[in-house]
Structure 1
Amino acid sequence: MQSKNFRRRKLSLLLTLLLTDWASAAPVVVTDDFTGTTATNPWQTFGGACLTASTSTSTASGNIPGCVNNSYYTDIFRIKGGTMGGGQTGTLPDAAGNGALRLTAVGNDERGAIISNFDFAKDAGLSVVFKTVTYGGNGADGMSFFLMDSTATPALGGSGGSLAYSCSNVNDFYEGVPGAYIGLGMDEYGNFLNASDNTATGAGFSANRIGLRGAGNITWNNLKSIGIYPSNLSSNDQKLAVQNTCKTGTVWDYSKNNSKLQDTKATILDYPLIPGGYTNSASLWKNTALRPNATPITYNLKLTATGLLSLSYSVNGGNYQPVLTNQSISASNGPMPDRFKFGFTGATGGSNNIHEVLCFQAGPAEISTSSAGINTQQSGQVKTGTQIYLAYYHTNNWWGQLTSQNLLYSSANNGTVSISPTANWDASCVLTGGKCDATNVAAMTPQSPVKRVMLTWSGLAGTPSVGSPAVGIPFEWTSLSSSQQTALTSGDASATSDRLNFLRGDRTKELTTTGANMYRMRTSVLGDIIDSSPTWVGGPSAPYADVWVDSTQPRAAASALPENAASPYSSFVMANATRQNVVYVGADDGFLHGFRAGAYDTTGNFVNNSTSPNDGAEVLAYMPSSVLKTIHSTTATADYSNTQYAQAFSVDGTPYAGDLYYKNAWHTWLTGGIGPGGSDVWALDITNPSTTNFVEANASSLVMGDWSAGSFACVGDSGTPNCSSNLGQTFGTPQIRRFHNGMWGLVFGNGLNSTNGKAGIFIVTIDPTTAAQKVYYLDTGTTSNGITYVTPADLDGDHTVDYIYAGDVKGNVWRFDVTSTSPSNWAASKYGNAAATPLFTAASNQPITTKPLVAIVPTTTGASRVVVSFGTGQQVPQTLLSPATYASGSQALYGIWDWDMAAWNLLNPAAPKSATTGRKTIAQTDLTQQTVTATYPTTTTNGVSGYRTVSNTAVCWQGSTTCTSGNNQWGWELVLPTSSEQVIYSPILAQGAVIVNTTIPANNSALTCSINPNTGWTMAVDPATGGAFKQSFFGDASNNFVSYNGAKVSGIQIGAVGSPSVVTASNSPYLVNQTSAGTGHVDKIAPPGGTLGKRLTWQQLR
């Protein structure tokens, strides 16, 4: 039951969470870090296995000896030649913490291995993660990891291509690992899966291949126990007996004399190739002398208790790439032993490499997936209401969840807000069916793929032009153009609807556990939700008046404005107050999804009934046009249906909903970009989300537009390329606003990495009479640049945008003047110069990739001041070959006075803003410096690990009398003090404060085994000064607002991600965040109150 202590507002609390697959705590987890001077666990050592940071020579009690003065290498170097080499600096021992388990050095014909002196039960399955580096030589042979029966006597397998796991058909070391069950070969040279070299099965010779072999026990001791391999055979005959059995996979009768050897044709487990269990990688080894320059690879092998095998790997901290997913090996591999031991081996032959293992981790299959290479954080967003929507992504097989949970209030500790642990619904369960852990439902029937309402864009026929004929169409095979059908079937044997049906949620063509079918086996029909925050849309609630006035045109008759020609906005609000609530979110399955979430009745009470269910059923899905072209990629790892799929962004932007007017009626639109998924902005009419309107037959009236790079033209375009070449990856969120030409429309940044590389903004206008669309591009003239977020500002409160502010990745803050009634006059402001000029440019290497805030700051005398606040920083998303990276150098929060308001004051003297004349380039020295004065660590029980205090130095504004002297400042700056601390999530302006979550990237070297989450601070500062308020903004664990050494608390360390939001319960405000640990966090706050920092972006967030 929902608490009645919350305000009855038709806004919902949104929170996006990262679900880490290594977060559970209960079962046994075994870890070992080989970078130090000793291993954590006992291991039996063979051959050249040693620790590069150790000088010990002992192998007692399971100790791994050091590499320095290691007798194995002393002997083999004397006979074969070679050097130890490698390591951190080229000279061993390595410093503790910078070492590795070395299996071979730079020499030929070497073998090294460790096998655990401990074992692990099969009962809960097994998941193993380990990290390796290979370098320093010329490409041979490789290394292996294996699981063996704990009752077997530990021993190594064959030399050379066998990688000390399987038996060898040709080499002097010919026996395989006894009691072996699974062997993973990391094979630079190419013989591990070559049947000409070892065993009776394989995939031929192929260098740089990762491959799996199954169970075997081809040793002389095992063969002679069969009874037809006499124990009195000579050593040479024993070798021939083992090798004959190895190369044929059958039992031979040696009970007579050698001249009558007979193949009995009875098969024996012979370390068989596991079908589909191999792939090639160009990154298995690197020709470099030192470990820091090598490429680390992390492997994740999972074997369930029912015999389903999965393997994936991550290169250099990048996304995990699957090799095999949930394939049954029980029938071909025999029953699993009750307990396993683990082994690592390395081998060289006629060529060599240094083979090293950095760390190892094993745990039960259901919890132990990826802890040793993936380190990305999800973007979170929270908004007020009585339900909270939590979006998750799982890196293991790349799937997502969206849950609805109640928000609860308790009077304990001066008032506490919490999140119900049980979900009302989980969209993943709704689409996929089966057991639903989030809701504790044992079995669910999945939503039928053929009944889902799924739409896309028809694309363009011919040359792009203003007002193109393209329309929304059903995402159905017969509705697609021939080029769209080709995009979905390229490379297939024939053009069929199978892949389209797969994308719609059909699972009949997914790979089975026995290897049948062609498409990847999904964990969930819902794809991963990484950067798209859920957007709740209920009844209309914008603060629009019934009579519209454009304050910059006082002589214009109100009746001339289009909005005044039909029924007022209040009638629209009343007519749609009880419409179905829908939560919209983008996922990397290629779709923007809408899930139903109850409704409100006419008195504002939440309802959940048969007419307006709160059950998470999908009501609408939309695939942007550019995504349709790329969802089936020719690159296997980026092809969503491919069994080798390793994540690709598709619909990764946060959608935005807003009301607008055209054709004598009010409408609600939903619009969004697709983030790193590509260059695309789309818009849907979601005014009526009923089941009679949200149908595929209405596609042309539901899809209002789709603008992708190369698909549209702008007003004034001539020649090629046209303005759409300026559209890059659409990281920001488009905004819906009214313009002074009497038209509503969209405004969005040009994004990043566009073809032309110019920074600017796009405006799409909708004709109020015909709904015809026109696109305008406002250029800044800067190249190799891009704008992500825009902030429209209404300076006089008439709900018509006057200026648009935006930051770019070069640290420039731009203002775009749209005060004119003629779009031909819209342009980037010049600030007294001849060409477009930024208001301010941040320090070198300070990119702006989040939304700027625009606030009115009252002055002691005269007109109020417009201050633009923003933070600097940038995250570049994780790829296949690298982890997420961040802006380097010092980053900061800024507040800059927009001083060029003379023209505005002439245009609307009734709403003047503080201005100055002349021309001014604002420099860092023109800003008042605020500082973090102190940090106070804490161990409280409320999840806060530290408090920050901030200075509150007055800003002596230029031309003011704020200070007795030195009134020459143009804004403020607060340098973020921790190394690499930066702003990658948009700040908010709420409760009279600039509130922002900063990010401190974890210092996780790809060569170390400790994976730490990002941390960061949640800061709240005065938009007028950038400093502290007169009272602490954040409370302690008991919700008391205390001071530290007389200073007020302006920051808490909770490791929050995403944009924070404020919820009000029992008349008190609370700040709600997501943390990097994957949990929600609620803090009571004490805002300053008053009107200081009044929001200029009049659109109520919802």
Structure 2
Amino acid sequence: MTKPAINYLPLKRLVLAAAVMLPLSAQALDPNLAPHNVPLFLSTGVSPNFVITLDDSGSMAWSFVPDSICVSTTRDAGCDAKERRFKSSTFNPQYYNPNIRYLPPLDANGVELTTSFGTAWRNGFYTTHGSIDLDTQYRPQTSFYATGTGSSGYSGRFARHANGGTNIGDDIGSGKFFGNIGETAETKAYYYNFVSGLSGCDGTIGDDDCYQPVFVTATSGPATADISGDGIINAADQDERQNFANWYSFYRTRNLATMTAASRAFQDITPEMRVAWQALNTCTTFGTTCTGWNTATSARTDNRIRRYTAAHKADLYKWLFRLPADGGTPLRQALGKAGEYFKDPSGTDSPYAFDPQVDDDAAKRYSCRANFSMVMTDGTWNGNNAGGTIKSDSTAVALPDIFDTSCPAGTPNCVASPGYTPVAPFKDTNSDSLADVAFHYWATDLNTSLKNDVPRFPSTLDNVDAATLTAAYWNPKNNPAKWQHMVTYTVGLGLTRTLDTTTPKLKWDGDPHSSNMTTSSYKELEAGTLNWPSTAAATAPGKVADLWHAALNSRGKFFSAEDPETLNKSLKSIVNDVASKVGSASSIAANSKRLESSTRIYLASFDSNDWSGELEAIPLDPITGLPGTPVWAANANLPAPAARNIWTTSGGAATSFTGAFGGTLTSDVVNYLRGIKTNELPSGTFRSRTKVLGDIVNSDPVFVGGENFRLEVIPAYVTSYPAFVSSKSTTNMIYVGANDGMLHGFDTATGVEKFAYVPSELHSSLADLTDVTYPSNHKYFVDGAAGFGDAYWSGTWRTVLIGTMGAGGKSVFALDVTNPNAMDGTKVLWEFNGGAHASKMGFIPGPAAVAPFADGHFYAVFSNGYDSTDNQAGLFLVRVDDPSIYYFIDTKYGTAIAENGLSTPKLVDLNNDRIIDAIYAGDMQGNVWKFDVTDSSAVNWRIAHGTVAAPNPMFVAMDGTGGTAVRQPIQSQLGVTGPPSGVAGDAMVYFGTGRYFVNGDAVATDKQSFYGVLDDGSLTSYSTSYGRSDLWTQSIIYQAIVGTQEVRVTSNTPANWTTKKGWVMDLVPPGGALKGERVISPPLLRFGRVIFNTLEPSVNDPCLQGSSWLMELDAETGGNLSYAALDINGDGQFDSGDMINYTLSGSALTSAPAGVKSGTMTLNQPTVVTAGSKEYKFSSNVGKGIGVITEKSGSSAGRTSWRQIQ
């Protein structure tokens, strides 16, 4: 939850620290501060194995889909009746479609292959066999064979016309072909459009009278798609000659289209993914002699699984570009070979080797490595079965995790699976089917030498009760298997119409898990009210349905591609889908700080499979404080697209987010962002979404609901402010940014979106959200935390929300949210991008604060963020009523090789008059800055230490005191409270060091620390900063598992305020091993204790996502507490039973625990809700779980329990 970033001092007790910021951190520190484009906890996992199987059967040479439109017992016969429809994509989706942009293939280096209208390659992958001039020499064809010299051979040389039996040769000579234009002579390239209004047309696609010819020219195109590739649809797209040439050379047959689609999709495979490949009839073993139609020794490739290095990628493309088309369709056998390959347990050839074919370090055979297989085909399977004994989906099976003992007994992870009893939609009456093969390699532990900890999908299936886990097992959308298994993706080319001919007839709408019973049979199959068709006959249509069934049985996905464009997108979707996780990185908001019957918390989360987001309202049990079942989810309560109240800024003025905004932000893109799904796959070209709301990663939900900031203390507002508070809207709101380009405002009572805002900086990049490759090219948009406060100008009070964009942009915006029921363009106050100081603006994590200052005005205050152009740190103060009046206080610290940026500032009122006096903030170079804003003239505001020309930080955090000491970055907002009793000074400042947002930060192990330092109020008398040598030291002296919990004890060095200015504790366990532990969230300051979460990413074992420590220390000394603060024995009491007995240096000791370890990573400061003598601290973890810490108020605290929210 984002909390007001203001402290009112002097205080002699510790107060609640303010807002959680962007979850970022670093070590082994990269000096570059550009944020990574995906959450780091998703980037550190173990790369999967991926076996690719492509169809090289004879039908892949055909230039029509599906098979059923050209039925004959002999090849090619029956398609020669001068039929126009074959030359129209309406009837034959393989033929040229003027509404599709045909992108050329890419070679292994990502360079596009070329062709042209005047010199169009017969085979764009093998140009040796010449070209034709599409302006004069075009003839359609039905097939294109790959090797040999006769009509029965299959090579890159020979094309066949529609009446069969004629070997046309290199020049594609005379002969019949589809249709009646130029039947016996070469002609200009052409296609047919389906026009239902033509004379004699009966309105069906099978009637040749419904087709009108179009000759391809510079002006023949309909200009309905951006076929020119210039980013806009205009008159230039009428010239379809190059587009037709691309289709002719790279797409006109199934084989060519597959090679092209694969060449583009396989560019998206990351270098760390481990890839192997095979075909159905050639390259059928995993070794070093894999070839396509070119069987020369020089054409051999190594298709064994290994990392997708440049060399391995080059081998894949060498094979791909010579993919033949000859033989049958033994899919079952090929899928079985892939599954058997994943059973190789050890050795450098093993898929589980640390670096296959290079290094088989046994300690690095990671048990969490997932196995994926992709099978692409254009027809029904035949030929040999998989071999061996196959577990059938119609037979009961004991699943491997029944015997799983990889986690401690009694924990939710160890709930035994129920085993498999035949159940829909998995079971059928078929035997030895492709679905059975897929089921077998899902239900079998493929490597029994490894423990079973493959990540479940979604990850929320961890830590659930038995009933929930059992239900999840039989939902095909989920994959609960933790054992080593194979997930299979299937792709059918041109097979959708065949599903309509099965018995029973199946409906397909492009979504393998569609809930639309009008367009899809999935819900009936799932319920068991519809059975899978038979696969018994040699050409049974049920074998096409078996592709869908096989994907569901293995918890993969089925794609049916009717045209080359959809095939391209399907293959890309599979590549992008092989690593799916669900997480939550933002903090939790609450509608009350006291536990009552109406108290709720608000949890934001995301699914990285399609980067969708969710916000849920979760009630708290008024007795136990535990979270209940969500009462609403935001996606279910979004208004209809046309009814959504979305605004943006264009040309400096607020405007409704409708229509087109120029460039790539077309009206179709705007409609997509509003929630219209008609242009999504499979019917359209935009990326399909499971939810409209985008991922919410680093933007903390902020609750706005009638807050009273006690501003009547200021004499000018003694009357007006109470009146404003009493008149505040009774509609409480939650505001949160999402990476769909919007800041959203939701009614807390109903979950209905009342308002959304799109920052104008994003206009040029919003179209990226529609791209089908977006899942593997995620970007941040509105990813920063919002802040709010009350402000007064022009005789009126307002509640102002300040939005930041985090890693999504370098702008800040202000909205008037006084009345959330009347939000319109007039409530968009301003956008700010730095003005004359734009080079100072970086990615601002937020939140900004709104507060009154000594010059009589209210300001929005925020850091300059990270990765600014000038690489330095500084503070922005922007007048809320007039953003053209702003002040930038420059620290002048940072360089291109030591980039800097200010972290979220903390505003402090030192004398309790509600006017801000000082602002504290850390930076990425370990500096702690104090900004003096006490002067009544804003131009005199400055850094408190040093001079204006040469400012000094108050303190510098370093990991040592010698000449080799390294600066420690400060990412988190500081915690500030009054100094200890009897100690002179302005404040105590608390903070931890560390960074977690730059690529590489997750595996860094630099030493980080936690500090409590005194600001003694010296101001300009400081000529130099102070640091570690001015502090006394605490340390972690004991760490061990006690009972079932790992705990810590720290030292208890007494305070020494005579010669020192505070304390430091290094986050280093006994023994001195650096494990990358760090602090990236603000501390809590309560009842004389400083409470903070540390983050410890898994550096040595990437199968472990990481962990966190909850630390509770004496705030004045930094030492171990003298009383039990945590219930480590679980008896509900906080007494001697929770003390730790241990031996240190030969002495038997007893101490209270100073820290307790959690097995999940927590990135945020907890949200606190009190209940009488108890208080509850709620935190989100990266698996979408909610951590609940129950404590007694005052001098004792309670136990930790974790509850996972689905």
Secondary structure of residue in 2 paired with 1:1058: coil
TM-score, with structure 2 as normaliser: 0.54
The 3 A distance-change label for structure 1 pair 1025 and 188 is same
Secondary structure of residue in 1 paired with 2:846: coil
Alignment of 1:948 with 2:1048, yes or no, is yes
CA distance in 1, matches of 2:122, 2:1173: 70
Secondary structure of residue in 2 paired with 1:640: helix
The 3 A distance-change label for structure 1 pair 625 and 337 is closer
* Amino acid corresponding to residue 563 of structure 1 in structure 2: Y
| Counterpart residue number, 2:690 | 523
| Counterpart residue number, 1:630 | 765
**How does 1:840-989 map onto structure 2 within 5 Å?**
840-843=955-958, 844-859=966-981, 861=982, 863=984, 866-876=987-997, 885=1002, 888-901=1005-1018, 919=1023, 921-937=1025-1041, 940=1044, 945-957=1045-1057, 959=1058, 967-977=1059-1069, 978-989=1074-1085
Residues 810, 843 of structure 2: 8 Å contact kept: yes
Partner of residue 747 from structure 1, selected from 845, 849, 861? 861
CA distance in 1, matches of 2:931, 2:123: 61
Partner of residue 618 from structure 2, selected from 380, 385, 405? 405
* Amino acid corresponding to residue 1032 of structure 1 in structure 2: A
Residues 758, 786 of structure 1: 8 Å contact kept: yes
For residues 529-580 of structure 1, what are the alpha-carbon distances to aligned partners after superposition, in whole Å with 9 as ceiling and x for unaligned? 1111111111123233x342xxxxxxxxx4xxx424xx4322222212x520
Residues 695, 738 of structure 2: 8 Å contact kept: yes
Deviation at 1:417, TM superposition (A): 2.4
* Amino acid corresponding to residue 631 of structure 1 in structure 2: L
| Counterpart residue number, 1:798 | 913
Partner of residue 586 from structure 2, selected from 370, 379, 389? 379
Deviation at 1:737, TM superposition (A): 1.3
Partner of residue 701 from structure 2, selected from 534, 548, 553? 534
| Counterpart residue number, 2:466 | none
Residues 792, 805 of structure 1: 8 Å contact kept: yes
Secondary structure of residue in 1 paired with 2:1025: coil
TM-score, with structure 1 as normaliser: 0.58
Alignment of 1:131 with 2:64, yes or no, is no
Range moving further from structure 2, 275-284 or 1063-1072: 275-284
Deviation at 1:1072, TM superposition (A): 1.4
CA distance in 1, matches of 2:754, 2:1163: 29
* Amino acid corresponding to residue 1140 of structure 2 in structure 1: Y
What 5-or-longer segments of structure 2 have no aligned partner?
Answer: 1-15, 24-44, 63-104, 128-146, 168-173, 180-251, 272-307, 313-353, 360-368, 378-424, 427-433, 436-488, 500-540, 559-572, 593-598, 959-965, 1142-1149, 1197-1206
Deviation at 1:1015, TM superposition (A): 1.4
CA distance in 1, matches of 2:20, 2:163: 62
Residues 674, 681 of structure 1: 8 Å contact kept: yes
CA distance in 2, matches of 1:742, 1:206: 76
| Counterpart residue number, 2:769 | 640
* Amino acid corresponding to residue 264 of structure 2 in structure 1: T
| Counterpart residue number, 1:593 | 744
For residues 614-633 of structure 1, what are the alpha-carbon distances to aligned partners after superposition, in whole Å with 9 as ceiling and x for unaligned? 2211101011121223323x
Alignment of 1:1029 with 2:1158, yes or no, is no
CA distance in 2, matches of 1:1029, 1:249: 87
* Percentage of identical aligned residues: 28
| Counterpart residue number, 2:829 | 704
| Counterpart residue number, 1:70 | none
The 3 A distance-change label for structure 1 pair 276 and 384 is same
Structure with more helix by fraction? 2
Deviation at 1:1065, TM superposition (A): 2.6
| Counterpart residue number, 1:1043 | 1139
CA distance in 2, matches of 1:1044, 1:372: 42
What 5-or-longer segments of structure 1 have no aligned partner?
Answer: 1-10, 19-97, 101-128, 133-143, 149-155, 163-184, 208-234, 256-260, 309-323, 344-360, 411-415, 432-446, 460-469, 479-484, 490-495, 549-557, 598-613, 633-638, 713-721, 904-916, 960-966, 1091-1102
* Amino acid corresponding to residue 620 of structure 1 in structure 2: F
Range moving further from structure 2, 376-385 or 808-817: 376-385
* Amino acid corresponding to residue 749 of structure 1 in structure 2: S
CA distance in 2, matches of 1:745, 1:956: 39
* Amino acid corresponding to residue 1122 of structure 2 in structure 1: K
| Counterpart residue number, 1:715 | none
The 3 A distance-change label for structure 1 pair 193 and 273 is farther
| Counterpart residue number, 2:888 | 777
**How does 1:537-548 map onto structure 2 within 5 Å?**
537-544=704-711, 546-548=712-714
Deviation at 1:202, TM superposition (A): 11
CA distance in 2, matches of 1:1026, 1:674: 35
How many aligned residue pairs are there? 730
* Amino acid corresponding to residue 983 of structure 1 in structure 2: V
Residues 875, 886 of structure 1: 8 Å contact kept: no
Residues 195, 203 of structure 1: 8 Å contact kept: no
CA distance in 2, matches of 1:452, 1:326: 37
Deviation at 1:456, TM superposition (A): 1.5
For residues 293-312 of structure 1, what are the alpha-carbon distances to aligned partners after superposition, in whole Å with 9 as ceiling and x for unaligned? 9999997869999999xxxx
| Counterpart residue number, 1:331 | 496
CA distance in 1, matches of 2:857, 2:940: 15
CA distance in 2, matches of 1:583, 1:1053: 31
Alignment of 1:145 with 2:63, yes or no, is no
Partner of residue 682 from structure 2, selected from 485, 492, 513? 513
| Counterpart residue number, 1:1019 | 1111
CA distance in 2, matches of 1:269, 1:528: 39
Residues 1034, 1083 of structure 1: 8 Å contact kept: no
| Counterpart residue number, 1:807 | 922
Deviation at 1:989, TM superposition (A): 2.8
The 3 A distance-change label for structure 1 pair 147 and 1003 is farther
Alignment of 1:205 with 2:326, yes or no, is no
Secondary structure of residue in 1 paired with 2:784: coil
Range moving further from structure 2, 363-372 or 652-661: 363-372
Structure with more strand by fraction? 1
Deviation at 1:265, TM superposition (A): 9.5
Residues 1032, 1060 of structure 2: 8 Å contact kept: no
* Amino acid corresponding to residue 898 of structure 1 in structure 2: D
Alignment of 1:486 with 2:600, yes or no, is no
| Counterpart residue number, 1:88 | none
Residues 249, 270 of structure 1: 8 Å contact kept: no
CA distance in 1, matches of 2:122, 2:1082: 53
Residues 926, 968 of structure 1: 8 Å contact kept: yes
| Counterpart residue number, 1:1052 | 1156
* Amino acid corresponding to residue 775 of structure 1 in structure 2: Y
Residues 805, 845 of structure 2: 8 Å contact kept: yes
Secondary structure of residue in 2 paired with 1:746: strand
Deviation at 1:427, TM superposition (A): 1.1
* Amino acid corresponding to residue 750 of structure 1 in structure 2: N
Secondary structure of residue in 2 paired with 1:498: helix
Residues 14, 390 of structure 1: 8 Å contact kept: no
The CA RMSD measured in Å over matched residues stands at 5.1
Deviation at 1:760, TM superposition (A): 0.6
Deviation at 1:802, TM superposition (A): 0.7
The 3 A distance-change label for structure 1 pair 580 and 776 is same
CA distance in 1, matches of 2:930, 2:608: 40
Range moving further from structure 2, 273-282 or 396-405: 273-282
| Counterpart residue number, 1:665 | 796
Residues 947, 1049 of structure 1: 8 Å contact kept: yes
Residues 908, 918 of structure 2: 8 Å contact kept: yes
Alignment of 1:396 with 2:521, yes or no, is no
Secondary structure of residue in 2 paired with 1:999: strand
Alignment of 1:456 with 2:620, yes or no, is no
Residues 384, 1061 of structure 1: 8 Å contact kept: no
For residues 924-944 of structure 1, what are the alpha-carbon distances to aligned partners after superposition, in whole Å with 9 as ceiling and x for unaligned? 22211111222232575xxxx
Secondary structure of residue in 2 paired with 1:786: coil
Residues 584, 1180 of structure 2: 8 Å contact kept: no
Deviation at 1:1068, TM superposition (A): 0.7
Residues 942, 948 of structure 2: 8 Å contact kept: no
| Counterpart residue number, 2:566 | none
Residues 920, 929 of structure 2: 8 Å contact kept: yes
The 3 A distance-change label for structure 1 pair 190 and 993 is closer
Partner of residue 475 from structure 1, selected from 649, 657, 665? 657
CA distance in 1, matches of 2:983, 2:148: 103
Alignment of 1:563 with 2:677, yes or no, is no
CA distance in 2, matches of 1:1034, 1:1024: 20
The 3 A distance-change label for structure 1 pair 939 and 642 is farther
CA distance in 2, matches of 1:663, 1:203: 73
For residues 231-283 of structure 1, what are the alpha-carbon distances to aligned partners after superposition, in whole Å with 9 as ceiling and x for unaligned? xxxx999994465999769996799xxxxx999999x9966735966526387
| Counterpart residue number, 1:85 | none
Alignment of 1:572 with 2:724, yes or no, is yes
| Counterpart residue number, 2:302 | none
Secondary structure of residue in 2 paired with 1:893: strand
